[in-house]
Amino acid sequence: MSGYNFSRVLPVVALLGLSACATPPSQINNVCAVFDQRDGWIDNWHSAAKRAEAKHGIPVPVLMATVRKESGFKANAKPPRAKLLGFIPWKRPSTAAGYSQALNGTWAQYRAETGNFTARRTSFADAIDFVGWYHAKSASTLGIARNDTYNLYLAYYSGWNGYRRGAYKSNAGIRNYARETDTMARRYAQQMQSCGRL
């Protein structure tokens, strides 16, 4: 009888766990609250972010602020579809997807270079490692400091070649996104200091 009950309860628990992961955390402007909401023994966001920091040398507040700006911590985030004739859903403007909003080609490059061939853009641990990898390459190839959120985000948004060309210089919107991300990283750092997560 107990085995029967366990076999019925296990799928329900698994389903609840999956649905919890699919829902973005609330209070996304408070990184301590985000970590508190995602501190499970299987899916622990703080541990994943600290691993990415140790591996790539990019501070956790920079990593988390990038994900916050890109997807709002939504696992299945994608750019909105364009509208054909103003109302018919059409193609998406890019292949960006998941927490990191990584493009198909860049995600494939990340998997090939890191050997993480099972990485998924809907996995927070994989996505935060991708952000760390991308920022670390920006630092090493473009000479950006690893804690310079503003320029790291410009390179993240514009792409390495776009950053080299200075494509962002004529785009006030991109520069504003970078300033917002930098402000968020600074706020996250202060919050992590106060809640002992730094």
Q: What is the pLDDT of residues 90-134, one digit of tens each?
A: 444 589 999 999 999 999 999 999 999 999 999 999 999 999 999
For residue 192, give the nearest of 28, 26, 33, 56 by alpha carbon: 33
DSSP H helices in the chain: 2-22, 31-37, 45-56, 60-71, 104-114, 124-142, 149-158, 160-165, 172-195
Q: Which two tokens stand for residue 155?
A: 């390179």
CA angle 122, 71, 45 (to 5 degrees): 55
Please give the pLDDT value at position 78. 81
